[in-house]
Structure 1
Amino acid sequence: MDTSDPAPRVNFELLQRYIGKKVRLVGKVMGLDGDLLTVKAADQGLVYVKVLPGAGHASEYVEIDGIVESPNTVQEQQHVEFGSNFDLNSYNELCKLAHFDYPALFL
């Protein structure tokens, strides 16, 4: 496993810590306007994702791998669709554990 370029899992609150860096964000797709996807993050904040040209986002929940451009904007590098049944509350708790309670256990 290559761990040279880890991408931490984040919620809306944590995005501001990673401006200019790669992250993973899971959220609910709220809409797509041109190349700008609106995603509700696990902690309910709205994040704007600049999607790749021609990238489809057909699922209700999605994981975005991308570079944080501002406290509420991410440039997508790739994405994974999670379907229509995903527990954002549990994911939000995972983000808190990974960043505040047990950071040594996570990349």
Structure 2
Amino acid sequence: MSEHATPRINSARLTDYIGRSVRLTCKALAVNGDTAKVQASDGGEIIARLLPDVDITSQYIEIIGTVQDPSTIKMQACIDLGDNLDMKLVNDVVEFSHDPRFSNMFLH
């Protein structure tokens, strides 16, 4: 099962997952054609390459996608998370999931 795991990341962890599928909870800042500028839970900005038929209508989304480089993720799926989300709490979950003391509780 772990071979299909999609770890939760923030912008600081992008470089650790280049070429791998991840989950990025983020705030949509701007959509321009087939790309969007998003803000990760740690405040860093990332470019998301969108699927052709995706319509981002909520402020917060979770992108499941492949990390292309240290600042870009290519979307495979998108989950609408609404307009009210505690991004500090999201970032705490991301960091806990990468902490060796808790890593056995999370799939990577």
TM-score by length of 2: 0.95
Residue matched to 1:68: 67
SS of equivalent to 1:55: coil
Residue matched to 1:93: 92
Q: Could you give the per-residue CA deviations for residues 31-89 of structure 1, whole angstroms, max 9, x where no partner exists?
A: 00110111100000001000000211100000000000001100000000101001100
Residue matched to 1:37: 36
Q: CA RMSD in A?
A: 0.9
SS of equivalent to 1:77: strand
Q: Distance in 1 between matches of 2:59 and 2:16?
A: 26
Q: Distance in 1 between matches of 2:76 and 2:70?
A: 17
Matched, 1:20 2:19: yes
SS of equivalent to 1:96: helix
Residue matched to 1:57: 56
Q: Distance in 2 between matches of 1:58 and 1:67?
A: 22
Identity of aligned residues (%): 33
How far is 1:4 from its partner? 3.5
Task: Give the letter for the 2:73 counterpart.
Answer: V
Q: Could you give the per-residue CA deviations for residues 3-29 of structure 1, whole angstroms, max 9, x where no partner exists?
A: 431000001101110000000000110
**Which aligned runs of 4 or more in structure 1 are off by greater than 4 angstroms?**
none
Residue matched to 1:106: 106
Number of aligned positions between the proteins: 106
SS of equivalent to 1:4: helix
Q: Distance in 1 between matches of 2:56 and 2:20?
A: 23
Task: Give the letter for the 1:94 counterpart.
Answer: V
Q: Distance in 2 between matches of 1:102 and 1:38?
A: 31
Q: Distance in 1 between matches of 2:97 and 2:17?
A: 14
